[in-house]
């Protein structure tokens, strides 16, 4: 699906004139309450007794993890779970070097794995995995089920499944396979210009403790430190539980988007295939707005600025400038910050699960 196929969601709300600092957790909470209070209330009441399973479909680095974390922040960590298939696979690989964890995984696979190759061969595939050496779909499905078993009674955002075209059909039956009671399943498609992905990759940092992602150029935290010895600026994680941890870059991100070209093309095909399905509700999230329409659809503070830093007089000064991008159609556009995209997700989710009374 092309970007033009995704509707532009209006986050500008009549009567809400306050300007919010969306990097500040307290102001961000107020922002969501002001702009989506009724939808949030309906969803919280719904989640007291019911759950849902949402499959996040978007190109790599399109913000799936970030949007999930924001929804957890809004609706409650006790109600929402986020499952990253990539993280599950990496953790399972690492567990093979830990006797206790390996025993736990092998025992679970022995009871729950069903596939056309043996458990032993599936584990061999896991240990030898690479971009060219794909894991059996049945192994991935079983590892997902194992992770879901750790989060009973939670609604789930599943990030990274399906990850191959043949797995689209598996996602249709995941709810039944894991013995969910009567969960609503739905698809969440994310449209984002490649220029934004490229910039996000080159400037992305994550907290080494809570793994929250941010961008040194596009989405800084409230605290920035300067290391005079290394002549380098660092973002400091906002979460107090992380004790002022410095956020760090991920290996390979500095190469930008071209290192992911094949993956991005496959992700695009996955979204198209999945969104051709009938009978499952769909949510459309769009990251970019043409500059010509932005004034009517979004508030200025919802648009992504570009940040730079200077160290003067022992203090870090943060400078903010407009960031204009080209969307995939070559149109001058603004990229939205993560909260307004999450706002669109929350409102559409509420309309699907608990439509407002007319």
CATH number at residue 16: 3.40.50
What does the pLDDT average to over 117-142? 80
β pairing state of 248-249 and 315-322: unpaired
Query: Which H or E run includes 266?
Result: helix 261-275
Query: Pick from 19, 16, 9: which is nearest to 301 by CA?
Result: 19
For residues 249 and 234, give the distance between their C-alpha atoms in angstroms, rounded to a whole number. Answer: 10
Q: What is the pLDDT of residue 169?
A: 65
For residues 11 and 296, give the distance between their C-alpha atoms in angstroms, rounded to a whole number. Answer: 9
Q: What is the pLDDT of residue 340?
A: 97
- Residue 181: pLDDT over 70: no
**Confidence band for 358, pLDDT divided at 50, 70 and 90:** low
**Confidence band for 316, pLDDT divided at 50, 70 and 90:** very high
| Cα pseudo-dihedral 79, 182, 267, 346, rounded to 10 | -40
* pLDDT higher at 2 or 142: 142
State whether 211 and 139 are in the same domain: no
State whether 252 and 186 are in the same domain: yes
Counting residues of the chain whose pLDDT is more than 70, the rounded percentage is 91
Least confident window among 44-58, 131-145, 324-338? 131-145
Q: What is the pLDDT of residue 342?
A: 97
- At residue 315, φ and ψ (nearest 5 deg) are -125, 150
Residue 22, domain extent: 3-79+157-353
**Confidence band for 179, pLDDT divided at 50, 70 and 90:** low
The mean predicted confidence, pLDDT, of the chain is 87
* pLDDT higher at 8 or 262: 8
pTM beyond 0.75: the answer is yes
User: Residue 157: left (phi > 0), alpha (psi -120 to 50), or beta?
Assistant: beta
Highest-confidence segment of 41-50, 156-165, 306-315? 41-50
Distance (Å) of CA 212 to CA 22, 69, 215, 237, 242: 15, 8, 10, 8, 11
* End position of a domain, from candidates 153, 183, 216: 153
State whether 147 and 174 are in the same domain: no
* End position of a domain, from candidates 104, 134, 153: 153
Contact 334, 325 (CB under 8 A): yes
What does the pLDDT average to over 84-89? 88
Return the SS3 of 8.
coil
State whether 88 and 56 are in the same domain: no
Residue 135 lies in a domain: yes
What does the pLDDT average to over 231-245? 93
For residues 3 and 335, give the distance between their C-alpha atoms in angstroms, rounded to a whole number. Answer: 13
What does the pLDDT average to over 107-128? 88
* pLDDT higher at 311 or 218: 311
Q: What is the pLDDT of residue 1?
A: 62
Q: What is the pLDDT of residue 40?
A: 97
State whether 121 and 246 are in the same domain: no
Contacts of residue 319, Cβ cutoff 8 Å, sequence gap at least 6 = 307, 308, 309, 310
For residues 258 and 244, give the distance between their C-alpha atoms in angstroms, rounded to a whole number. Answer: 33
The burial class, CB within 10 Å (0-12 / 13-18 / 19+), for 240 is exposed
Other beta carbons within 10 angstroms of residue 241's beta carbon come to 8
Report which DSSP code applies to 14: T
Query: Which H or E run includes 73?
Result: helix 64-75
State whether 10 and 92 are in the same domain: no
* End position of a domain, from candidates 153, 179, 210: 153
Tokens 């991935």 correspond to what residue? 140
* pLDDT higher at 305 or 163: 305
């Amino acid at each position: 699906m092309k970007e033009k196929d995704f509707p532009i969601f209006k986050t500008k709300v009549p009567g809400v004139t306050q300007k919010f600092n969306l990097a500040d957790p307290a102001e961000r909470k107020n922002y969501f309450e002001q702009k989506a209070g009724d939808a949030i209330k309906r969803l919280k009441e719904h989640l007291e007794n019911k759950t849902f399973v949402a499959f996040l479909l978007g190109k790599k680095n399109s913000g799936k993890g970030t949007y999930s974390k924001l929804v957890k922040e809004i609706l409650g960590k006790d109600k929402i779970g986020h499952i990253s298939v990539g993280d599950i696979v990496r953790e399972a690989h690492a567990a093979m070097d830990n006797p206790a964890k390996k025993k736990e995984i092998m025992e679970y696979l022995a009871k729950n794995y069903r596939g056309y190759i043996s458990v032993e061969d599936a584990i061999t595939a896991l240990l030898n995995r690479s971009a060219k050496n794909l894991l059996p779909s049945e192994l991935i499905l079983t590892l997902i089920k194992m992770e879901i078993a750790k989060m009973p009674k939670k609604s789930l955002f599943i990030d990274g499944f399906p990850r191959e075209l043949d797995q689209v059909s598996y996602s249709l039956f995941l709810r039944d396979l894991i013995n969910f009671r009567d969960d609503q399943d739905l698809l969440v498609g994310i449209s984002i210009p490649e220029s934004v992905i490229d910039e996000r990759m080159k400037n992305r940092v994550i907290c080494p403790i809570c793994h929250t992602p941010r961008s040194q150029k596009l989405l800084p935290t409230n605290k920035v430190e300067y290391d005079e010895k290394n002549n380098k600026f660092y973002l400091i994680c906002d979460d107090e539980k992380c004790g002022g941890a410095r956020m760090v870059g991920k290996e390979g991100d500095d190469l930008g988007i071209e290192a992911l070209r094949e993956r991005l093309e496959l992700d695009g095909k996955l979204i198209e295939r999945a969104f051709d399905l009938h009978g499952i509700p769909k949510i459309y999230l769009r990251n970019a707005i043409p500059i010509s329409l932005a004034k009517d659809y979004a508030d200025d503070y919802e648009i992504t600025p570009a940040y730079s830093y200077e160290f003067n007089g022992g203090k870090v000064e943060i400078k903010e400038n407009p960031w204009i991008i080209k969307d995939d159609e070559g149109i001058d556009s603004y990229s939205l910050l993560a909260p307004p995209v999450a706002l669109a997700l929350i409102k559409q989710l509420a309309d699907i699960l608990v439509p407002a009374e007319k």
